[in-house]
Amino acid sequence: MSRASARGWRIVGTALGCLSVASTAVASPSSAINAGPVGIVPAATVPRLPKTFQFFYNFDPRGWRYETQISSTQWLEVYETGERSYFNVLMEDTVEGCHGLRLMKDNRQLEVFIPDDQCPMQLFKFRFMGPDGPSSGWHAVGRMEKITY
């Protein structure tokens, strides 16, 4: 028996390469304050980054946009018209208090932000890029829908 299971904890799986542990003990009001060993994060709080989602774009060309992660470094955006755009992953980052991914459009004129599932507002955001970096602040372009992780 492992030390974790001997102390009333069991391994329940992994997420994003992080160990997830759950208590085998019955919770009491006092145990809610000290729910587990220091440094162990419940699986429900491990942020998940989307793999696919869609949003409605209100500008030309108006319509649904479908976003798909096609590799660890690239995303594909498909318009209802069939037109395609590619985005390269820049880094994980925090934008306006939300953790997520920053991507750069293949034409290098647009940067987008995709929040993780812990962000209360699931908004796909963008900002324009100039030759010396960002040329605008972040703008919400649409609410993310039909998100898969």
Is residue 16 domain-shared with residue 69, that is, in the same domain?
Answer: no
- Do 80 and 102 belong together in one domain? yes
Q: Are residues 104 and 37 in the same domain?
A: no
Show the domain range for 16: 3-45
Is the per-residue pLDDT at 63 higher than 60?
A: yes
d(CA 140, CA 149): 21
- C-alpha dihedral over 14, 93, 116, 144, to 10 degrees? -150
Into how many domains does the chain fold?
2
| Shared domain check, 61 and 26 | no
Q: Is the confidence at residue 26, as pLDDT, over 60?
A: no
The answer to whether residue 60 scores a pLDDT higher than 60 is: yes
The pLDDT score that the predictor gives to residue 41 is: 58
Give yes or no for a contact between 149 and 51, defined as CB atoms under 8 angstroms apart: yes
